Structure 1
């Protein structure tokens, strides 16, 4: 019971028991974190024994990544170099795809690195030989992994940049950001998604055949890329060059690409903010947005190299379509921006080359997206856990990225409609919506069986996940549905048990949603209930991972996690 408890505060009696049976605990990998909590780190003899036992654990029962994340937390028992080095060694075995799921929390864990735990990586400003403070072992590990993977580099760049604004820990994050700059400035960006490769021909002529599809996927931008290897001249605020030749050209680095991405997106956000604050109604603001984007050079340009989108680094874009820009009437007037897609790099989310020609995102300023970013990350994690348990519940973890504490991007899911709008347009019936958008004569309810199955599965998945995360303020405007049957939630302003209304339900399942399955007496509704139970039981097995990730986010400045007594790991 002591080992299985999620509590970080064992009683004195529990600590005594753990210490008394410490030698037998090394056969149980899950006992390590509780044993470390029982060690008195002010007593040298106990510290020596802890080091010896930790080495036995490493050899006989190495911990899993789940527990390694816990060892990077802020508890005093995890603040020693010995413990944190062991955790980093465990994380090193995780593939990039798994590390990506935990990257947001690992960036937060940098706050808990002790100052005497330092690597030899210096902080050096670009173009300067001045050496300042070194960075921690965890920071060095993350920088090295980012230097070998574009997706990790992209997200690590933005997660760090947001934290550099932190009033308490900002200097530490600026130190890590400078070390990342130095490392990525030395990492050539030759082909999107693959670093340290000179040309497509080098890959095709080598034995690295698995990379052929990635080379093919970027063939569309080959001529543009080669042009920019030799093109020079000044660059305007939108990232467009003015031509000319460099006397001594150099190959672009990964850092160059991320800075170009940052400059372009910051320019777009500046335009959106200016138009938002301009006088006039929505239509006038929208017209000004379109004209300003066109006038200031944000359209597609042959003088600009394609860059990855911050919210979707597997998508390479070159400018946007000013004429299609829209603004939504709300307090912050978010803008819907459509980007020109040059190519897509195969990734875990998009395993093969896509034929996308455009990609839409919501640009928001004056709004803190860090809480939405966390919830979407947890949904993506739980989606992976469910699929590992052979439960594909057709979830839609759309992309969200905070680019500052008050701005960011949200993926626009094309073809989705609020449930409130669907009910208004289809006589209050989701079933009628399916019969119109996904008809199949002769099938049950005259609806495509695949669409109905997707609807049932996605409803079950989101009911369970929003219950676990305590998502509040659920109403028919933040439930969205696609013609394919994919149901999903948006707008996570109230989570971990908070809700603007008194006595909210544990999760929201309306009569209209059930009627869309055929009613409470239908076979489909019973299938929904069965899937929900299976999903909950599957996620319970990974409760430790979920709690560890939330614990690492406790000092992230997310309102519903930091200022809500019921949202600590024990409360959750």
Structure 2
């Protein structure tokens, strides 16, 4: 028998080909109870394999009882260890990737077309729709039913379209511009909301380390009611309970708030923690160690107050900052991995024989008060409203804003977020007045409205108002902020919401938006907190965009193939680690053998680039790079543009989401500068996360790193970093005459842009291998693993001592090689100052965009403290003159301390030279 199939059939197939094996031994289970083992071509389609099986089965007993071949299909156990129906029989066996080489033949039910579509969608989104069918969740069922109905209606409208209408709908020009919380139920107003922990059982998370010689720790539960990050009342705490695995409390936790005052989006947050005594200097104190947390909404998706017994499976990863050890910003989804997590059993009491529903808002216009605020209060209000989003409001300021809310609406409509933070969400009268006021509030610009989607503003009417403002976005602007809009879906407690419907509608009207919506969602499907939510949205998109399915499916298959090639290279590298020459030769041979398989050549050719769907890729050439994760360097031809070559790097093992965010912000900076008539020649190359620690990066053509440029100009690596003529000489080689002057101007503008951008964003780990220059003169930075001031250090000493990179060889180029060329240097400095002031004017937007990414799980963006760096670098809260003075000091510091950069670069070059 051939070797057992590995977890990845592609890897196994590649090894088989190297060994001269073209067949795979597969076990087939027939519905008649007959078992057949047979060798089949590893690249055969499922349809062809079924035909081979059918011929073989004719010689076995009970064959006549099978009936027609078309009435059967295969099932397998996939990589996720669940059954998958192989309805799409055009797929190859090596693309199916079963967990083990076994296929089960089953009788096909009716509705084949629907089942085939379901199968394609399941493969495409990375989650079988049978998994969604199996969920015992009425909200999931209702959302899918509604989306199915909407998709059916949309596809019916598509069928009635003319050709030109259909083309416009599916292939629109790329980036075309374009209730009052009244008392809930009579007789309930005076009752307190209670969370009763009756017969509560907590199963310990086994990650807690306890000294077996010590008694087991005491365990407590803390509970809090939140609206956004605002505590609605004092948290409730259980008594301490001891035990090794289970803890039971027969008690009631009470909150000092009436049911009628609970806001619609109130959430109940729990923290479970161990309490251990600590004796120090004859003083005994208690230390609290967090064990787990979990959240749930107080009202369900239908607006009904939750009651009865609920089991909440909790999470054990805690963010850096927690208030009272509660995590209100965390997901309200319970942990799907129930076997190894702490389970909390709670009982929510019934207040009434009938369900208590949150009443719908009666949309009546509020009466405007006749009195206006005086001049003194107007000045004070203006000062408060002009603060940045990170500034805290004291209680007196909140009271003033709420009292003068109509003046805010009339004079400072963009200040709506600060008004919302001033509402007492624990008083239904205030909620009712706010929701009425929203009906007449002036529409905000889409950029200002983005802040309202932050976690701090969970109210349904507020978010619907924000989405209403976003509808004015052109497709180009929506594409600019799509990354954040996908992330804030995490803040939506219910699947059916205004933001979800908005994104689906715009995506189905513009395939370019649909393409990136698909990949932003698909790339995070492995995250348990969003897996169901994102799969529901992906399913809805696919059902409403059926012609797009095959295009996306080929991209998904191509990325799967590239991952297999990368894994094969890593495997070959490990096996031949002792001999570098032998490793390179054998690994390259295995890679080429793998890529020559017909299944690979077909899948990797004639596909639309995930980085840019308007590019059709063909004619692949591939090599691997000599870094830890062995990324693939791929060269394609763009079939739509006369065969121009395009470079793409495929990474497997690196999280590209932080790079993707940084490049998006650089793209926005470029846009803002251009809006102010300042083009700083930024190069925001393409970068797209496509899965768990995998993705694609665009290769910028005709470019080289500063390190390579310096090293080619010197025979000694240690001296290369100090050769100030190397860069200018390289540009002279690439350009002559007027072209050189233009290249130096390009270098000057782009250097100014990146100096300002890297300073404002706090981009660290800047060495000569992640700063590049194009032959046309444009300088640009790559690799953004450290942002927001998280600079690298060694032995506790910061390796980067400059606010941004501005070396003397850069200045040498800017001054055209003339030491006394102060005019050119003055222009460069002026570009930097202009660029900085433009970004300052948009400081609130940058803070908002980073705040909307807080729950994305980026390593260096986990709390509001991280975003504080932006406030400091942009000198928000200061005048332009004060800010400019601060920037000029940083500029002089960068120039004065540039020798430290050269020393770091020298060390980098020496290490690099020793490795090669």
State the TM bucket, normalised to the shorter chain: 0.7 to 0.9
Instruction: Tell me what 1:477 maps to.
Output: 769
Instruction: Tell me what 1:451 maps to.
Output: 743
Measure, in 2, the Cα distance between the counterparts of 1:541 and 1:520: 35
Give the structure with the larger helix fraction: 1
Question: Out of 483, 494, 506, which is 1:145 matched to?
Answer: 506
Give the structure with the larger strand fraction: 2
Question: Out of 592, 595, 600, which is 1:298 matched to?
Answer: 600
Instruction: Tell me what 1:287 maps to.
Output: 589
Measure, in 1, the Cα distance between the counterparts of 2:841 and 2:481: 18
Cα deviation, 1:306-357, whole Å, max 9, x if unaligned, reads 4321111121224x42xx31111111011111223221xxxxxxxxxx4443
Contact 1:282/1:327 (<8 A) preserved = no
Instruction: Tell me what 1:273 maps to.
Output: 567
Contact 2:453/2:488 (<8 A) preserved = yes
Alignment of 1:379-528 (within 5 A): 379-426=666-713, 428=723, 429=725, 430-440=727-737, 448-501=740-793, 502=798, 504-518=801-815, 521-522=820-821, 523-528=823-828
Instruction: Tell me what 1:4 maps to.
Output: 386
Instruction: Tell me what 1:93 maps to.
Output: 472
Instruction: Tell me what 2:836 maps to.
Output: 536
Deviation at 1:521, TM superposition (A): 3.8
Contact 1:560/1:567 (<8 A) preserved = no
Deviation at 1:256, TM superposition (A): 2.1
Measure, in 2, the Cα distance between the counterparts of 1:409 and 1:325: 14
Higher-Rg member (1/2):
2
Which sits farther off after the overlay, 281-290 or 256-265? 281-290
TM-score w.r.t. length of structure 1:
0.77
Question: Out of 484, 490, 493, which is 1:114 matched to?
Answer: 493
Contact 2:705/2:773 (<8 A) preserved = yes
Measure, in 1, the Cα distance between the counterparts of 2:733 and 2:623: 28
The DSSP-based 3-state class of the residue aligned with 1:71 is helix
Measure, in 2, the Cα distance between the counterparts of 1:401 and 1:539: 25
Q: Runs of 4+ in structure 1 displaced over 6 angstroms? A: none
Which sits farther off after the overlay, 304-313 or 414-423? 304-313
Question: Out of 370, 385, 396, which is 1:13 matched to?
Answer: 396
Question: Out of 74, 79, 83, which is 2:455 matched to?
Answer: 74
Instruction: Tell me what 2:548 maps to.
Output: 254
Question: Out of 606, 629, 649, which is 1:362 matched to?
Answer: 649
TM-score w.r.t. length of structure 2:
0.49
Measure, in 2, the Cα distance between the counterparts of 1:534 and 1:283: 53
Q: What is the root-mean-square deviation of aligned Cα atoms in Å?
A: 2.0
Instruction: Tell me what 1:228 maps to.
Output: none
User: Taking structure 1 as reference, are residues 11 and 356 closer, same or farther at Cα in structure 2, changes over 3 Å only?
Assistant: farther
Deviation at 1:108, TM superposition (A): 0.6
Deviation at 1:454, TM superposition (A): 0.4
Instruction: Tell me what 2:542 maps to.
Output: 181
Instruction: Tell me what 1:33 maps to.
Output: 417
Contact 2:487/2:856 (<8 A) preserved = yes
The DSSP-based 3-state class of the residue aligned with 2:479 is helix
Measure, in 2, the Cα distance between the counterparts of 1:513 and 1:452: 10
Measure, in 2, the Cα distance between the counterparts of 1:559 and 1:415: 32
Measure, in 2, the Cα distance between the counterparts of 1:89 and 1:513: 47
The DSSP-based 3-state class of the residue aligned with 2:651 is strand
User: Taking structure 1 as reference, are residues 570 and 484 closer, same or farther at Cα in structure 2, changes over 3 Å only?
Assistant: closer
Gaps of 5+ in 1: 116-133, 186-252, 344-353
Measure, in 2, the Cα distance between the counterparts of 1:486 and 1:553: 30
Asked if residue 377 in structure 1 is aligned to residue 761 in structure 2, the reply is no
Contact 1:33/1:67 (<8 A) preserved = no
Instruction: Tell me what 2:445 maps to.
Output: 64
The DSSP-based 3-state class of the residue aligned with 1:480 is strand
